[in-house]
Structure 1
Amino acid sequence: MLANEILGSEKPREKLQNYGIESLSTSELVAIIIETGTKNESVLTIANRIIMKFKHVAEMQYASLEELQLINGIGLAKASKIMAAVELGKRISLVTEREEIVIRCPDDAVKLVMPELAFLFQEHFHCIFLNTKNQVIYRQTIFVGGLNASIVHPREVFRLALRKSAASLMCFHNHPSGDPSPSSEDLLVTKRLVEAGNIIGITLLDHIIIGKNKYISLKEKGYF
């Protein structure tokens, strides 16, 4: 049997595993995203129908949830998966097009984290690590849960900062209540992070509390 016949007979996931993501056709990529077919049609048949709906695959980025659901075999769940995959691709492309993300002021940083933190139902403590040019080199959520000094330990924050060779960092956490006003625990955590950073030589540039579509910079407010 010829190699291309072998490829053609394999399911998309098997083909990906055996030959890599680059070996998959556009229809096979869509088939992996939507995962399943229907009682009467295979997943590849439905994936092909989706591709044929558009003159070019790039036009998929403009499709609405309702438009995708008009395709036979596509319900809300599959349409949502397609839109999520397209949006993720757009966001990756947007970041790739930039040489570096540079943080010049609190607002620059907030624009980066607000979409993720503003509407969470639990407190998340998130850090952005910067180089000497204030370019973002790494970011990560380090703690999830109620913010207090016993949980948010400087050791964990600065261990990661050292591992990433960061020159400075900015910390963020959200208030699920929507009110970004700092609590006494917020200020205590900030004080400990500033002190630890001064000892290690990695500057805490800011600690920003995210509320619902608003934020408070503890640095701007003069808390440290």
Structure 2
Amino acid sequence: MSYLIKDLPDSEKPREKFKKYGSDYLTDEELIAIILRCGTKNMSVKDLAIKIKKEYPNLNDLTLSKLENIVGMGEVKAITLLSAIELGKRCLNDENNISIKFNKAENIFLYFKNKIGHLSQENLIAVFLNNKIKMISYKTIFIGTVNMSITHPREIFKEAINNRAVYIILIHNHPSGDVTPSKADINFTNQVLYTGNIIGIPLLDHLIIGKSKYYSFYDNGDLNEKYIEK
């Protein structure tokens, strides 16, 4: 039989603390315990939450496979916890969208580094901006290596038009951590730049993001069709 939160003494029940003091009073482990609801026949849910936090102090590092490798964490518990973490990220993003102006590469990097900087595959994201250079929305356009032969600008501008974007910014990660643009990165960037100038939805920048650093095509003066390499 699994250990349940209800089996704990009242003074140790995270839900009771939540009701009495509010969520700010709870530790990360107690919040995780509330989400998981129950432990295993050999481990209380609170101990399971402590184990998760001890192995992964930064919850942003959690993945489905990592959680499933923790004794006591099955697929259902893992998905439940990851869903709660993702929802929290989205709520924070919604608040940030109101105030963040994407007129500096550093602002873009700070917003997206925790979303894609740690990923093991390249993700290409298009950010759609209004006339005040604030984000309307963003969308992952492609997962894999950025390549003009398989990723076409029309996919980006179709979404830009649907979102009534005035400007766009491209972002993708380099899993290696080396943010130096490849020939394919340069070619694709300038293809999008050229298309955007024709359509009337300019490309303002393209950032390549690593875990702790970035490369901005705009800051480095690379947003120019002449850089397309043959």
Task: Give the alignment's TM-score, normalised by structure 2.
Answer: 0.68
- The yes-or-no answer on 1:59 pairing with 2:31 is no
Q: Which residue of 2 aligns with 1:25?
A: none
Which of the pair has more CA radius of gyration? 1
What are the ranges of 5 or more consecutive residues in structure 1 without an aligned counterpart?
1-37
SS of corresponding position for 1:99: helix
**Superposition deviation, residue 152 in structure 1:** 1.9
d(CA) in 2 for partners of 1:94 and 1:155?
A: 27
SS of corresponding position for 2:98: coil
Q: Deviation per CA, 1:32-55, whole angstroms, max 9, x where unpaired? A: xxxxxx5475x7x36993311443
User: In structure 2, what residue type is equivalent to 1:135?
Assistant: K
Q: Which residue of 2 aligns with 1:107?
A: 106
**Superposition deviation, residue 195 in structure 1:** 0.7
Please tell me the root mean square deviation across aligned C-alpha atoms, in Å.
3.3
Q: Percent identity?
A: 35
What are the ranges of 5 or more consecutive residues in structure 2 without an aligned counterpart?
34-38, 50-72, 224-230
d(CA) in 2 for partners of 1:106 and 1:72?
A: 46
User: In structure 1, what residue type is equivalent to 2:22?
Assistant: V
d(CA) in 1 for partners of 2:110 and 2:96?
A: 17
Task: Give the alignment's TM-score, normalised by structure 1.
Answer: 0.70
Worse overlay, 98-107 or 48-57: 48-57
The correspondence of residues 1-224 of structure 1 with structure 2, limited to 5 A, is 38-39=1-2, 41=4, 45=6, 49-54=13-18, 55-59=20-24, 62-65=26-29, 72-74=44-46, 75-76=48-49, 77=73, 85=84, 88-89=87-88, 92=91, 95-96=94-95, 99-224=98-223
SS of corresponding position for 1:134: coil
SS of corresponding position for 2:45: coil
Shift in CA distance, 53/101, structure 1 to aligned 2, threshold 3 Å: same
Worse overlay, 48-57 or 76-85: 76-85
d(CA) in 1 for partners of 2:88 and 2:7?
A: 21
